[in-house]
Amino acid sequence: MKINLNGEIVFASTGGRNFELKGKPIWFIHGSGQSHLSFMLQGRFFANRGWSVIAADMPSHGLSSGIPLDTIEAMSDWHIALMDSLGVEKVQIVGHSQGGLIGLDLAHRYADRVSRLSLVATALSIPVNDNLIDMAKNKEPVAIKAMMDWGHGSEGHSHDHTMPGQNHLNYGVQMMTANKSGALHADLQACVDYVNGPSAAAMITCPTQLILGQKDKMTPLKFGLKSAEALKTVNVTIVENAGHMLPSEHPEEVNRALRPFFTKS
Amino acid sequence: MTGDYKFNTLSLHAGFTPDERHGSAAVPIHQTTSYVFKDTEHAAALYNLEVGGHLYSRISNPTVAVLEQRVAALDGGIGAVATSSGMAALFVTVLALCSAGDHIVSSSQMYGANINLFQHTLSRYGIETTFVAPNDPDAFAAAIQTNTKMVFGEVIGNPGLDIMDITVIGKIANDAGVPLVIDATFNTPYLLKPLQNGANIVIHSLTKWMGGHGIALGGIVVDGGNFDWGQNKRFPTLTESHFGFQGVNLYEEFGPAAFITRVRTEGMYNVGPCLSPTNAFHLIQGIETLGLRMERHMSNTKKMLDFLLQHEGISWVKHPTLPDHPDYDVAKRLMPKGAGSVIACGVKGGREAGQAFIENVKVASHLANVGDAKTLVIHPGSTTQSHLSPEAMKLAGLTDDMLRISVGLEDFEDLQADFEQALRSAAKI
């Protein structure tokens, strides 16, 4: 659905079902240079099982207009504004990669708006290689290809797919290319600049969950596990042989881990 | 294309993961119509496209999916749907984009069945086509209308061998808000990847060079995912509620995969031109050696051209790698490894001499196919294009004395000897 937020168009996928506010919606937050499409299979899964689902494209991403937001805090504020515009009081967050940093910040600074926090393929901080930052600024197509190459695990690189006939790597490239130019660089720089992850984690009181890829090259498993220590999370799922693009490469494992974590009330 | 593997590695491995239980190294033939659901929730999830898997082999099949994923990887596409033939691939592409009242701009120099489909079949359903010369970009630009839904052509026209400059025509089409759909059968991704050179959708007849063995029919549609279907209101089949899928807007829900999702959920579901798993298996075996075969096709084609050009029994020779070909420069730029293994030529003595040549070849086979590992010859005017009117023949750039040679992989010395004796027989007419 399309929402007018402060004069800009926001597109939010509702999992293929009409949005009807029931309980606390599952609020998907995409990663750097991604869009609502990273959660296509999760959104459909939960919407078809009676949850309210929102997977919004942040400004300059996917089908949303506007200029890219340049800090994790600004992104959190934007999500709160979107919740307000939809009349949503409290959400259950799924944040992937950079979306996990936004989730941490939301659960810390807006603790009364977040009832549960699921962090997928993320860490308390996401340092980004200087070369990648530079490529994102000056050679965006090269950066996109590099990210899709590093981000995918064995499924992507074997060109195998759970959805018959589809291709993870090339789909990822086209999904990222569809964003407005500059969105990826702003996202990556925001990840680099965000240093409040450890302090935010220490203050979070809502139930948290981590879903990590065993072979994640972008947010390696050891950093994800450190997040678990800081968050005192006992609910940790490690998906074997999975890379960073867990939601698309291992949708069934991710959905299986997410489902018991969320409530419908 | 993103990816760490090169062409021959992808040809051998892409799209297949041996299953843990059996570990079959070769792609298994899943000769089944249907698939046992784990439970009712699993069945519902498959219908809702929220988990991957297979429902019914008309829509998808594990063996066919390996083929689809392999060709998508080779072409640099985001996804593919395999069909029972190349013609079926073209039809489901049109079906996904066009409705009654819509319009197609197409190259005039194509395989006869493509022309027939556009000119005679689709027109009965209210879809009109304007045909233009493939090497006249301005004509493409002028022919695009507000209701045009696709620009279509063959990179290497069959059988006239004119080259369509897909980089230039792709830009013209995309600037007008229309996708470029390319039949890449004659080039295969070994010689040219159209999706990286201006095209948005590629179709192949897999029956030809991709399979290479001449034992299995098949086609495929590959989606580049590089066309913004939502940029205008031109594509309601993709950007408005899809009747067959809970009213979902495919563009919003599947993004770059909107088109290929429509092909599967409408073309395969409602029409059903599915590829058999056994044919998919055969085609996969062929694709495993595509790179090696294409190298040999190119080297034998070069030798055949040298032979024909110096032969006194041949009146003319046409191939895009010859400097006197009108599209020589375009062919060299688009396809530096070679411009296909089909040669057009005329035998001195006209139609009768040409027929005598065909009836006397022994190593080469006289049949209606191209791209086989074996060398094939045919007289298009009396066979593949015989249903075309004299005007359509002229528009397609065909002459009555024309022979089409699809150069195979035989030892060239044997081919040369065979052609030599057949040309001697033709000279006696």
> Residue A29 maps to which CATH number?
3.40.50.1820
Task: Indicate whether A195 pLDDT > 60.
Answer: yes
- Interface check B246 vs A, CB under 8 A: yes
- Interface check A129 vs B, CB under 8 A: no
Backbone angles phi, psi at A165, to 5 degrees: 85, -5
Question: Which of 1.20.1250.20, 3.30.420.130, 3.40.640.10, 3.40.50.2300 is the CATH number of B7-286?
Answer: 3.40.640.10
- Interface check A30 vs B, CB under 8 A: no
Task: Indicate whether A174 pLDDT > 60.
Answer: yes
Amino acid A249: pLDDT: 94
Contacts of B88 (CB under 8 A, 6+ apart): B219, B273
Q: Residue B387 and residue B240: Cα distance in Å, rounded?
A: 39
User: What's the number of domains chain A is made of?
Assistant: 1
Task: Indicate whether A153 pLDDT > 50.
Answer: yes
Amino acid B1: pLDDT: 39
Contact call for B230 and A16, based on CB within 8 A: no
| Residues in a beta bridge with B343 | B405
Amino acid B2: pLDDT: 43
- Alpha-carbon torsion angle B395, B398, B399, B405, nearest 10: 180
Amino acid B350: pLDDT: 84
B138: number of CA atoms within 13 Å, CB side? 0
All residues of chain B having their beta carbon less than 8 Å from the beta carbon of residue A164 are: 52-54, 60-62, 64-65, 68, 264
Q: Residue B128 is encoded by which pair of tokens?
A: 């009109």
| Strand ranges (E), B270-359 | 314-318, 342-347
Q: Please name the member of A35, A40, A159 whose beta carbon is closest to the beta carbon of B14.
A: A159
Give the confidence band of A252 by pLDDT, cuts at 50, 70, 90. Answer: very high
pLDDT in tens, chain B (429 residues): 345 799 999 999 999 999 888 999 999 999 999 999 999 999 988 988 888 999 999 999 999 999 999 999 999 999 999 999 999 999 999 999 999 999 999 999 898 899 999 999 999 999 999 999 999 999 999 999 999 999 999 999 988 899 999 999 999 999 999 999 999 999 999 999 999 999 999 999 999 999 999 999 999 999 999 999 999 999 999 999 877 777 889 999 999 999 999 999 999 999 999 999 999 999 999 999 999 999 999 999 999 999 999 999 999 999 999 999 999 999 999 999 999 999 999 999 888 888 899 999 999 999 988 999 999 999 887 777 677 777 777 766 678 788 999 999 999 999 999 999 999 999 987
Q: Where are the domains of chain B?
A: 7-286, 291-427
Amino acid B428: pLDDT: 87
For the stretch A139-165, what's the b/e string if a residue is b when 16 or more beta carbons lie within 10 angstroms of its beta carbon? Answer: ebeebbbbbbbebbbebbbbbbbbbbb
What is the residue range of A42's domain?
2-261
Which ipTM score applies to this complex? Answer: 0.95
Contact call for B79 and A35, based on CB within 8 A: no
Q: How far is A157 from chain B (nearest CA, A)?
A: 6
All residues of chain A having their beta carbon less than 8 Å from the beta carbon of residue B81 are: 165
Amino acid A100: pLDDT: 98
User: B291-427 architecture in CATH?
Assistant: Alpha-Beta Complex (3.90)
Amino acid B385: pLDDT: 67
Q: Residue A194 and residue A69: Cα distance in Å, rounded?
A: 13
Helices and strands (H and E) in chain B: how many: 17, 14
| Closest alpha carbon within chain B to A162 | B52
Q: How many CB pairs under 8 A join A and B?
A: 140
Amino acid B47: pLDDT: 87
Q: How far is A62 from chain B (nearest CA, A)?
A: 8
- Candidates B78, B221, B245: best to mutate against A (most CBs of A within 10 A) is B78
Contact call for A167 and B10, based on CB within 8 A: no
Amino acid B392: pLDDT: 72
Report pLDDT digits (tens) over A30-75. 999 999 999 999 999 999 999 999 999 999 999 999 999 999 999 9
Residue of A114, A96, A115 whose CA lies nearest to A31: A96
Task: Indicate whether A166 pLDDT > 60.
Answer: yes
